């Protein structure tokens, strides 16, 4: 297992010789293919655009068993930053040019 990101309550690793990416946060472990990881990034990116000055929590809907996860704003940003960092390093995705 190759560690890609490990800060605060978020850990992102490569599993099975780079075939899957493992994301761990808030006692949740998700093992995803590369395309699923990219979809997670776009989902979190969309959620981040919904945040305003009144936002205290961000609710995520995870597909498996329709699991709803309510994250504090701080933990959401730890997760989003980790996924964004891996997108930049692993997939050479320029996340900075996408922000307004």
Task: Provide the CATH number for the domain around residue 30.
Answer: 2.30.31
pLDDT at 97: 47
pLDDT at 74: 92
Phi–psi pair at 26, nearest 5 degrees: 45, 50
pLDDT at 89: 86
Q: List Cβ neighbours of 38 (8 Å cut-off, separation of 6 or more).
A: 87, 91, 93
**Consecutive 10-residue runs of the chain (100 residues): their mean pLDDT?**
82 82 90 93 96 95 84 94 91 62
pLDDT at 96: 56
pTM of the model: 0.85
Domain count for the chain: 1
Whole domain around residue 15: which residue ranges?
2-98
CA 48 to chain centre: 11
Question: Residue 65 has what DSSP assignment?
Answer: G
pLDDT at 66: 81
């Amino acid at each position: 297992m190759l560690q890609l990101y490990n800060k605060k309550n978020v850990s992102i690793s490569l599993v099975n010789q780079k075939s899957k990416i493992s994301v761990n946060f808030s006692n949740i472990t998700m093992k995803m293919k590369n395309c699923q990881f990219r979809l997670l990034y776009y989902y979190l990116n969309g959620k981040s655009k919904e945040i305003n000055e009144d936002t205290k929590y961000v609710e995520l809907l995870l597909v498996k068993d329709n699991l709803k996860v309510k994250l504090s704003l701080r933990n959401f940003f730890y997760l989003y930053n980790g996924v964004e960092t891996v997108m930049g390093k692993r997939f050479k995705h320029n996340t900075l040019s996408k922000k307004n």
